[in-house]
Amino acid sequence: MIDTKTVRDRLVDDFDYPEANVDMVVEKINAMSPDVYAAFEEWFNTGAIADVEVEGFNYASVKEKRAKMNPIAVYLTLDWLTREPVRAKASLARMQTPFGGFK
C-alpha cells in the first residue's frame, strides 16, 4: 500500500487537488477494491496504465467517456463501478462523448 502522505502530496503537487478536498480523495483511494487499487498502485508507482475491467469498463473506455479525466479520477470511477454499478453506469452513460455530443 502506498503511504498516505505520499499520495496526498502528489495529488496536491502534481494534480492540483485543492487542500480542502485532498483528504477525502485519499480516503477514497485507500478504500478502493483490491483489483482497482492494484491497478492504481501500478500506475502511481510506474506511470504505466495498469488496466482492470469492472462492469464492462476499463481505463480506456472510462477515459473515452470523459477525455479530461485525470488518471486518479479514472481509477476512482472504476472503483465506483465496483461499489455502485447501476448508478455509476448511468452516470457514465450521460457523460459527454469525445465528439461533443451526449449519449
pLDDT digits (tens, 9 = 90+) for 16-35: 999 999 999 999 999 999 99
Place of cell 473506455: 61
For residues 76 and 28, the answer to whether their CB atoms sit within 8 Å is: yes
Give the list of residues 6+ apart from residue 77 with CB closer than 8 angstroms, or none: 57, 62, 69, 88, 92
pLDDT band per the 50, 70, 90 thresholds, residue 96: low
State pTM to two decimals. 0.88
- Residue 100, pLDDT above cutoff 80: no
For residues 70 and 77, the answer to whether their CB atoms sit within 8 Å is: no
Cα dihedral 21, 22, 23, 29 sign: positive
The grid coordinates listed for 59 are 481505463
